[in-house]
Amino acid sequence: MAKKRVKTPHQRACWVLLSAMTLMLTMSFLSEYFLKPQGRDAYFNIIVLEAVPILTVILLYMWSRKVKPVSFFRLKGISAGNAFFMLLFGLCAQGMGMLLNIPVITLTSLIGEVPQNSTLMPSAIPDYLLGLVSIALVPAVSEELLCRGILLREYEGYGFKAAVIASALGFALVHNTYYTLPFTMFFGVILAIVATRANSIYPAMIMHFANNAAALTINFVLQTFPWLKASPVYNILFFMLLIALAVCFVFMLIEFIRKTASPACDIEPAGQNIPGAAEIPDSIDNPAAEPVDKPRFGFSWGMFLIILIFVLLQAILIFYIIRDKLSLQAF
Q: What is the pLDDT along the chain (331 residues), one digit of tens a residue?
A: 445 667 899 999 999 999 999 999 999 999 888 888 887 888 899 999 999 999 999 999 999 999 999 999 999 999 999 999 999 999 999 999 999 999 999 898 888 888 776 667 888 899 999 999 999 999 999 999 999 999 999 999 999 999 999 999 999 999 988 889 999 999 999 999 999 999 999 999 999 999 999 999 999 998 888 888 788 888 899 999 999 999 999 999 999 999 886 544 333 333 334 443 433 334 444 554 556 567 788 888 999 999 999 999 999 989 988 888 777 776 6
Q: What is the pLDDT of residue 283?
A: 44
Q: What is the pLDDT of residue 4?
A: 61
For residues 229 and 162, the answer to whether their CB atoms sit within 8 Å is no
Q: How many CA atoms lie within 13 A of 18 on its CB side?
A: 16
Q: What is the pLDDT of residue 21?
A: 95
Neighbour count for residue 209 (Cβ, 10 Å): 22
Q: Which residues contact 41 (CB under 8 A, 6 or more apart)?
A: none
Q: How far apart are CA 179 and CA 177, in angstroms?
A: 6
Neighbour count for residue 59 (Cβ, 10 Å): 10
For residues 22 and 308, the answer to whether their CB atoms sit within 8 Å is no
Q: How far apart are CA 280 and CA 290, in angstroms?
A: 8
Q: What angle do CA 185, 186, 192 make, to 5 degrees?
A: 90
The residue among 176, 234, 221, 198 whose CA lies nearest residue 89 is 198
Q: What is the pLDDT of residue 330?
A: 64
Q: How far apart are CA 168 and CA 147, in angstroms?
A: 7
